[in-house]
Amino acid sequence: MEGISEVAKSKQQLIIEEWNGSSSTKLFKTATIFASPSLSIHRSGSRFNHVWRRVLQAFVPEGFPGSVTPDYVPFQVWDSLQGLSTYIRTMLSTQALLSAIGVGEKSATVIGATFQWFLRDLTGMLGGVLFTFYQGSNLDSNAKMWRLVADLMNDLGMLMDLLSPLFPSAFAFVVCLGSLSRSFTGVASGATRAALTQHFALQNNAADISAKEGSQETMATMIGMALGMLLARITMGNPFAIWFSFLFLTMFHMYANYRAVRCLSLNSLNFQRSSILLQQFMETDQGLYHGACFANVDYFMDLKG
């Protein structure tokens, strides 16, 4: 929020101050304009700090950090790291998938590759519809659990793509299985992300948080694609290096997701949290809304959604 905070007129001198920030964060002066009688502008702070704040505004919500919950930053850090490892592995799995389809081979036909790709995508779309039908109503109430499940299914899908060149006779089945796994990922990840965005928003700024999440993901995607292309180039023709890199990045991906989920402290009730609150009430006679009960919920329910 930028605006004119003070207009003072003294001895025919006009002074205009520009401040930056929001009502939820500390305001800081960015510029002062003097008109007496010539016009002069004095910037507050270094030009580097001014540029850095402008760049930061593209990646964090307005009013940060006061406009989001305390668990926003650690979650986003681990979430960006797991996304980075995913995009790096995507280059390896896509390279294997294209090789299995026949890219670069004279015997491969365009219609054959097109049909196989279409069958792969069709399986994924049907799988996403079925998954939504059976589990759509449970995703927001168990956001932590389904977040982990989504990334695990994504790992399985990439593994199927990497395995596809090893089973040419069962290629269609393997890639369809991988596409089916990723379809679960798309549905569960999107739904849980919406629930977590509502959790992070403290000032009805869910749309802003979602937009800045998109900017962070785009940056992670570009970095991951660049590193993935470099890794694919280095490991080309070396199956051991490809599999070692893929498995190492997969293990890091699972660890980063685990740490991201552990960072979350959700304050909404689902079946598991309600059970723990009732058990706490029965054992200690504390009120259901006592602060200690919620502290125990966060302690015991790190991975229960």
Kindly list the domain boundaries of the chain, sorted by start residue: 14-58, 71-263
In total, the chain counts a number of residues equal to 305
pLDDT tens-place string over residues 86-139: 999 988 888 888 777 765 555 556 777 778 778 888 888 998 888 888 887 777
Q: List pLDDT tens digits, range 185-221.
A: 888 888 888 888 888 988 888 888 998 888 998 999 8
User: For residues 215 and 255, what is the distance between their CA atoms, to the nearest angstrom?
Assistant: 23
Q: Which of 35-44, 85-94, 174-183, 204-213 has the least mean pLDDT?
A: 35-44
What's the rounded Cα separation, in Å, for the pair 214 and 82?
15
The secondary structure of the chain in percent helix, strand, coil, rounded to multiples of 5, reads 65, 10, 20
How far apart (Å, rounded) are the C-alpha atoms in residues 91 and 227?
9
For the full predicted model, state whether its pTM sits above 0.75: no
With H, G, I as helix, E, B as strand and everything else as coil, classify residue 96.
Answer: helix
**pLDDT-derived band at 30, boundaries 50, 70, 90:** low
The CATH number for 71-263, chosen from 1.10.3470, 1.10.287, 1.20.1250, 1.10.260, is 1.20.1250
DSSP 3-state of 13: strand
